[in-house]
Amino acid sequence: MLSNRRTSTSRWWHKKKNWILFAIFIFLVFVRISKGSFYKDLYYFISKPFWPGKFQKEIVLESIDQEHLIKLNLLKKDNTRLRRILSLQESSNNENILAAVISRKTGSWWRQIILNKGSKDGVETGYIVIGPGGLLGIVDNTSLFTSSVTLITSPESKLGVWLDRIQINGLLVGLGDDYPRLILYSKDADIKVGDFVSSSPASTLLPPNIPIGIVQSIDETFKSKKTAKISLLAKPHVIDWVQILKVNI
């Protein structure tokens, strides 16, 4: 009798174990197909009590005022008619979306932040994200409630930029650390420490004249180009509130 009970209990446990393994397998397949959207939305609800307080919006607004002072000088030189003819990127400040940072990977190689605004809020892949000071990155993925942003410090990031003092375009490349690298394909470029870097008026990815950073050091070891280390104006590892810019192609 005791042996029969043990056999019955063992069969019941093995059946239950098989169902548990099957359920886990189905869940993993679902996560794979949805590209992690379910996980991100679940994290959205779990982390909601810990989002940055509303008072930090004031800090964002103050930084935006400082940012506008820099933009004024750049906008005077910007030719709106030419950008429209060339079908370059434009953005409308009236359509910006304010979002909170609910997760960040700013210390890892693949640098990314996750925001608490997603497709239900109108966020789309390719939208621009700025923080107090300037450009942070570009939205590369959205779920219903969240959006993932690839930072300009990520090795995946390559953006056209502009040095206003010497009137020249360059390429900003992320290296996986806090200082992206500026590449100028001109050995004679008169770049100096302290030069201001912004998004290029000729960029097809970014609206023009978004502040990005300042030249911190210059490397002239290459024969055909100059490279420089850029100190970013917006610090992704300390920013809690950002703006998402709706760009129109």
Tell me: the pLDDT tens digits for 64-109? 666 666 766 666 555 554 445 444 455 555 578 999 999 988 776 6
Tell me: the pLDDT tens digits for 143-196? 999 999 999 999 999 999 999 899 999 999 999 898 999 999 888 888 999 999
Residue 8: half-sphere exposure toward Cβ, Cα within 13 Å = 5
Helices H / strands E in the chain, number of each: 4, 14
Given a cut of 80, whether residue 140 has pLDDT beyond it is yes
Tell me: the pLDDT tens digits for 99-138? 999 998 877 667 899 999 999 999 999 999 999 889 999 9
Cα–Cα dist 28/10, whole Å: 27
Q: Which pLDDT value is given to residue 179?
A: 93
Q: Which pLDDT value is given to residue 87?
A: 45
Phi, psi of 245 (to 5 degrees): -95, 125
The structure's pTM equals 0.68
Q: Which pLDDT value is given to residue 54?
A: 56
Higher local confidence (pLDDT), 131 or 11:
131
Q: CATH for 53-249, among 3.40.190.120, 2.40.10.340, 2.60.120.200, 2.102.10.10?
A: 2.40.10.340
Tell me: the pLDDT tens digits for 195-231? 999 998 888 788 888 999 999 999 877 777 889 999 9
